[in-house]
Amino acid sequence: MRILVACITLLLLAGCERSRDLPDCVDVKSPKDYGKFIVNPTTGLAQHVSGSVWYRCMAGQSFRGKKCLGEPLELTKIEAESYLRDFSNKSGEKWRLPTQDEFEEILETTCDSPPLNPNVFPGVAVKNFWLSDNSWHGERFGCSIFLFQGSTSCRQAVQLHQPILMVRD
């Protein structure tokens, strides 16, 4: 029995290892490489090959030229949902938090820190970002994705302040 417990423990610990020796995306992407996105250079929107349309800056910033200007907001989950309602009303288009699946399909697999194309999402921070998915741990928790290598967790207290990226609905 002890051997079985030791083997399971070792397997669980080995499964948690996420270190990969990948270069930073900003160091490996050439300036005009938009990967799987069609980028509108004036509106700050980028459409992924899957069809999802993303705002290229973190909430609180505006896209100008090739940069995101202003201070990104860090919001609780409830504040994020309120911000998205206000942003949708002002823009005339419905915006929301991305799902885990949507976020994972835009992640780069050949680089990280963050694993996003820096030409599409300039200056995105390496932090936890809110997702729209509901946590199976109850209403006090939400889901987020950590943008170092793209790991997700659905055990984030909804009172935490985290940035958001937005997807057009």
Q: What is the pLDDT of residues 113-123, one digit of tens each?
A: 999 999 999 99
57 lies in which domain range? 22-168
Average pLDDT of span 38-48: 94
Q: What is the pLDDT of residues 96-115, one digit of tens each?
A: 999 999 999 999 999 999 99
Q: Is the pLDDT of residue 11 over 70?
A: no
CATH of the domain at 148: 3.10.100
Percentage, residues of the chain above pLDDT 90: 81
Q: Is the pLDDT of residue 65 over 60?
A: yes
Distance CA 154, CA 138 (A): 10
> For position 149, what pLDDT does the model report?
86
Residue 130 inside a domain? The answer is yes
Average pLDDT of span 50-77: 96
Q: Is the pLDDT of residue 91 over 50?
A: yes
Residue 1 inside a domain? The answer is no
> For position 19, what pLDDT does the model report?
52
> For position 1, what pLDDT does the model report?
59
Q: Locate 76 and state its tokens.
A: 């609780």
Task: Look up the pTM and report it.
Answer: 0.86
DSSP state at residue 105: H
Whole-number mean pLDDT of the chain?
90
Residue 8 inside a domain? The answer is no
Residue 68 inside a domain? The answer is yes
How many domains does the chain contain in total? 1
Residue 7 inside a domain? The answer is no
pLDDT band at 21 (very low <50, low <70, confident <90, very high): confident
